[in-house]
Chains A and B, each alone.
Chain A
């Protein structure tokens, strides 16, 4: 590897660097960096010899053609999922790729500056990106990301489509990358990777999901990681706090090692809770289910003794594998999950895209208010073939396990009725094809809009269960986009209005005698979970790694105490007051627990 000696030199010059990111998988890892991406794909600034000019020009044109084919292929696949309109953005990508001005500039760089094809393309696109980021127009500034995306694809092709290969990993490492692609996620040498730090990504990026399923620490969204990290640097990844330290000084390293030991002790301690029942001090069972984004997380749910899968978000299947649009492929995936979890139940939420999750990220800016736009059940009721294939796949898979169907983003009763009608049609089709379906397949509604909260008594009569999605419910009822840093502080699950809404839904469900599970992030946050139990919730669906901690807390509290707390909270004027009251409550529980133990 030729980068090694220069990396060594650079390392000697640089000292400790601490960076922040998003903590997506808890724990502390200390180890050696393995950089999957070199900085923006390793552009070597060497002058080429005059006789190489022609070869580099040819390479550039070939790589453009290959990239174009790749984009076209993606376009074709997505078209089968989302239709012609949404894939038109890929045409823009192709145009950017074949852009005459950029191409001329790149060819001129090869010929006149004697740059390599990769360096020439990199520079020519960099100027275009700069032009776009300089404009006053916000929309155009965002398009700079599209250009970067095209450039990244092109540079991959110029490098023969390769990033540094996993084959080089022969010892324990901490992986540093821009982000992991789905295919890389699959090929990852799991036993060797002890942590992740990536530049891109949110909680649901491939890296985050992979890290949680492997139970290794990960921090994503560390913006400067690729600029700062060198191959083989020592690194600390604190996946609980979201901190990454490169080339740590000795005392920091010692501190990290001892925190790592402590974390492992606590984890071992928690593991002992695994086989204890999930009951409160006064013996009320709180059923804990697992939220699962991708099939790889299923084993973790089973290991942590979830009562089943309370929320399987099917959209991630669509994000990473476009073949999933085919009924056979989808049926196979669902069947596998059901078999694995059986006899426990699996609640599959039908495709919930739109809003902050778009099938095709490039189409996102086309809606002025995506969170209030075309998303969730609205898409399914319009793209009927998409919904039909998904429901048929679910029904066909239902023969091997305990399956429920959950409808996302309900805001009217008509949506429930229409979806049920489509499900009944699909059921009839599948039955006529000779599949022996279970007599009853439960259909539930996500309650995550204020509209659905107030209609809950009516909706409850039409469905078999409710699932409260607190993330969206909070967002819609408090009118706060939690990804918007200007207002994110207003996104507060302790807002008394949130408690009031949850209570309305729980009451409506109790009257109609249907179960409710709460599946937003609120359910997994111990303080919030206490409040939810107090409000009357008895089923929570949370990320599998949170199950053990919740069990511990439930074992400390009595439902009567929690009810009194919740009743008090419902009368409070502000989120701050509620939070204080719940914090005090938990503190008292811990003290009582310690006293009784000691």
Chain B
């Protein structure tokens, strides 16, 4: 992924920026320009705000066969996390063993290294989640 392509999303990856529709209140993550419920009525009313970083595990998997960029990390845990604001996202779980993870487990966001552009390239940061 090119530097610009990652950089555009840094605010959201570093700080969990979401949007709330000024018309119906629906929360969306990552930020959207149009509310999927209100459509045109939401234009210009999508407000950005920071998620609290707290959530719980909705489902998870332990990845054993991975794309080459994640080869050194495997096995690693990916999870879908339902944030306390109601929105869901996909992220890695860290600081725990696969055997410790359960559906419903409380987790909290951490800023961590996500990947890099080869050995001499830019390092990408973003959210991972650890048991709360």
A and B pair up: no
Interface residues of B (CB under 8 A from A): none
